[in-house]
Amino acid sequence: MTERVNLGKAAPSLYQAVIELDRLASEALTNAGIAKGFSHLLRLRASQINQCAFCVRLHVRDALASGESSDRVAVIAAWKETEYFSPKERAALELVEAITLISDGQLPDAIYEQATINLSKEEVSAIEWLAVVINTWNRIAISSRYPVKA
């Protein structure tokens, strides 16, 4: 594997700006009443879609440490096929997936409308910012090829 430029080391001020954006997004999630453990499941789901091994491993660990059950973590890739998630959580997962896959049909009106039926404006905003931030982190980790060793 070719060694890549580590974006965090190459441009520390930009990296710090992403850290601050992440902090603000996490604060918005907390203020919106979104559980910390579930926020890691949202991050995990986006990271799975983006195939970011570094972030997948990180958010599995963080979700478990935040009190999420191993069952919910285990089924997050197939969440639509389960009964583990409330209508509110399902709307949040749909929103994160649509934003992560934004090049595939943008953010469909049906998904956005479902989100606004099940989530407050504050929750929608916080979840959208979370999606923006985790997708940024995925791109940093993937393009820098952060190592994922056993």
Q: Residue 119: inside a domain, yes or no?
A: yes
pLDDT digits (tens, 9 = 90+) for 126-142: 999 999 999 999 999 99
Which CATH number is 41's domain given? 1.20.1290.10
Nearest CA among 22, 16, 18, 56 for reference residue 142: 56
pLDDT digits (tens, 9 = 90+) for 102-124: 999 999 999 999 999 999 999 99
Distance CA 141, CA 102 (A): 19
Q: Residue 150: inside a domain, yes or no?
A: no
pLDDT digits (tens, 9 = 90+) for 26-57: 999 999 999 999 999 999 999 999 999 999 99
Its domain, for residue 89, covers 11-144
Q: Residue 99: inside a domain, yes or no?
A: yes
Q: Residue 6: inside a domain, yes or no?
A: no
Find out whether 93 and 85 touch, Cβ atoms under 8 Å.
yes
